[in-house]
Amino acid sequence: MDAGDGPLLPDSVLYEIFLYLDHVDVLSVGLVCQQWHAVARDEFLWKELFYRYYRISREVPRHPAAVSWYDEFQRLYDTIPCVEVQALKEHNDQVLHLSFSHSGCLFASCSKDCTVKIWSNELDISLQHSSNMRPYNWSYTQFSQFNSDDSLLLVSGVFVGPHNSSSGEIAVISMENFTLLSRVRNKPYDVFGCWLNETNLISGNLHRIGRITSCSVLWLNNAFQGIESENVNVVKRLFKIQNLNASTIRTVMVADCSRYDSPDLLLDYEEQLAASSTCPVFDLGSDSEEEETKPKQTLEPAVQELPDEGGVTAEDGLQQFFDDIIEGRVRPAMTETELETKVAELFVRSRTKPPELNLLSTDSNSKTKYLIFTTGCLTYSPHQIGIKRILPHQMTTAGPVLGEERRSDEFFDSLDHVIDIHGHIIGMGLSPDHRYLYVNSRAWPQDCVISDPMQPPPIAEEIDLHVFDLKTMKEVKRALRAHRAYTPNEECFFIFLDVSRDFVASGAEDRHGYIWDRHYNICLAKLQHDNVVNSVAFSPVEQELLLTASDDATIKVWRSPRMVRIQQARKPRPRKLLFSWLVNQKS
């Protein structure tokens, strides 16, 4: 590579990184800085610099799309959105969430001030519209998402009510004239809601069955409920899932399976080698023996079949369990909570539709989608990820409102797969190609035992950012780390993350946003705020632009050093004072 092909690293940076090489002294560094062209052609030298400066395991190969090691050094130095260029202060309370339109021309922000604001993403970002949701009895707005053609905006909020209230609502706003088109109840509010396609969105409802047993119903809603004909269905039940031990379904999102065989990036090294001739690939290498020896997460069906006990059915087992209780044969004595859970488990096994067993063999060319959400089975804090396939015929509100007719033994829907995180899940995000799921979690103690579902284990301050391949349903190597959180279980809140082609970013409670490189598995930047960073968002068309939202009521705009130079070059240079004075004198 010729050093003249692009902007060069500053001499000060080269001086700093050369000190990492044991055999290079200060004098030779000074000489080399004057001979950039010779240095840029020394591929071995840049390879040594790269591995030592970023402390990367040598087992991690160079990004195959890179021309040279110098090119990779240039990328990681020059294209990270780490330069603050603007601070937006139009919100007057905590900013909770950010979302870009698919075109990248607009983005929306939600806040504790109960407004959703829509911004125009130009060179200097400006406020385009603000909607106050307090007239609809909302306490605050918490989440937003543009539909696939950017014509509609889904906004999720929390109702005014007591502290322990879990009710919320979803509103749909037209981007043509910013009018409110429809509103849909959403319970619990941290289901958030999401788009299934251009005109249909998913919401949730929660029905209590017992003290710690409930049923989550996920609904498909037409966005134009207020103007559709009364003869056309505008809502249909998608799934009905039983919850045990005070758990509920939350944080729903939809993954499109159609691009799994042609992803933007590959994170598995063996798969990378197999596909290196056709697409750019990444490998998340591990330099930790502890992490390498830890077994990978595997997925099991959410509802296990009952073992064969001499032909005894689940219904007979439930009757037998009741008989044992009445006659005092259950030892040791069960608590009320344990009894409720046992009865619910026996009941759901005899009233649940079996899972889709061929989930991994999904045809990549099909229109199948996955519904992904947080759930649990041991306690109320979300510690599992549920995955349910949505078939093409389920993607419309046409047909019976309650969905297909159900037999008595298929009262509930089972989950097709479950990922157990063994910790409190506080954030999820999909890669742009929907191949990989990134999950923020705070780990439980390794050998903890949960005896009371209302008292989950203590959680770590360190946040682990796990990566799961949705094609194989397996965790991809080791978790990313750097960010921290401090709130206890009962006060724990969602920290939104985002993924671009090359980077992944997340907020944190330590007053910083963080950026990692997806290929090299390294933290590249810390972005300063004055309070908790709740959300981050990459521009979908320009990953060198990142937004961060914080409890300090500010949205910060970050660009890469490369983009800052380009924008500064485009701006007209001010005339020198003397020249201006002469011109004024002549006039």
pLDDT in tens, 340-373: 676 666 666 667 777 765 666 545 446 789 999 9
Q: How many CB atoms lie within 10 A of CB 350?
A: 16
Burial class of residue 325 in the structure, from the number of CB atoms within 10 Å of its CB (0-12 exposed, 13-18 middle, 19+ buried): middle
pLDDT at residue 85 in the model: 97
pTM of structure: 0.82
Within 10 angstroms of residue 345's Cβ, the number of other Cβ atoms is: 19
Q: How far apart are CA 371 and CA 254, in angstroms?
A: 5
Q: Give the residue among 301, 417, 409, 402 at the shortest CA–CA distance from 352.
A: 409
Residue 474 neighbours by CB distance under 10 Å: 16
The amino acid sitting at 529 is H
Chain centroid offset of residue 408 CA: 37
359: its two tokens: 């989930």
Query: How far are the Cα atoms of 100, 253, 511, 531, 559 from residue 551, in angstroms, in the given order?
Result: 20, 25, 9, 5, 21
Upstream peptide bond of 307 is cis (omega within 30 degrees of 0): no
* Nearest one of 495, 501, 518, 524 to 434, comparing CA atoms: 501
The Cβ-side half-sphere exposure at 23, using a 13 Å CA radius, reads 3
Amino acid identity of 284? L
List residues bridging with 538 in a β-sheet.
546
From the list 402, 388, 104, 422, the residue with the least C-alpha distance to 253 is: 388
CATH 2.130.10.10 domain position(s) in the chain: 83-260+367-401+410-570
Which residues are 107's β-sheet partners?
Answer: 100, 119
First CA to last CA across the chain, in angstroms? 52
Using DSSP's 3-state secondary structure scheme, residue 404 falls into coil
> What are the strands of the beta sheet with 168-174, ordered from one edge?
138-146, 152-159, 168-174, 180-186
Q: H helices within 295-454, ranges in order?
A: 314-326, 336-349
Q: 74 in helix, strand or coil?
A: helix
- 3 state DSSP class of 216: strand
Q: What is the pLDDT along the chain (587 residues), one digit of tens a residue?
A: 343 444 455 555 555 555 554 444 444 544 445 555 555 567 888 888 888 888 888 888 888 788 888 888 889 989 999 999 999 999 999 999 999 999 999 999 999 999 999 999 988 899 999 999 999 999 999 999 999 999 999 999 999 877 667 899 999 999 999 999 999 999 999 999 999 999 999 999 999 988 899 999 999 999 997 655 556 678 999 999 999 999 999 999 999 988 777 777 776 655 655 555 443 333 323 333 333 333 334 333 333 333 344 445 555 555 565 556 555 655 556 676 766 676 666 666 667 777 765 666 545 446 789 999 999 999 999 999 999 999 888 888 877 777 666 665 567 899 999 999 999 999 999 999 999 999 999 999 998 999 899 999 999 999 999 999 999 999 987 788 889 898 887 888 899 999 999 999 999 999 999 999 999 989 999 999 999 999 999 999 999 999 999 999 999 999 999 999 998 887 766 555 555 555 565 55
Domain 83-260+367-401+410-570, CATH:
2.130.10.10
Contact assessment for residue 419 and residue 385, using Cβ atoms and an 8 Å cutoff:
yes
Q: What is the distance, to the nearest Å, from the Cα of residue 497 to the centroid of all Cα atoms in its chain?
A: 5
| CA quadruple 128, 134, 135, 136: dihedral, nearest 10 | 100
Residue 348 has which token pair? 């759901």
Amino acid at the residue 508: A
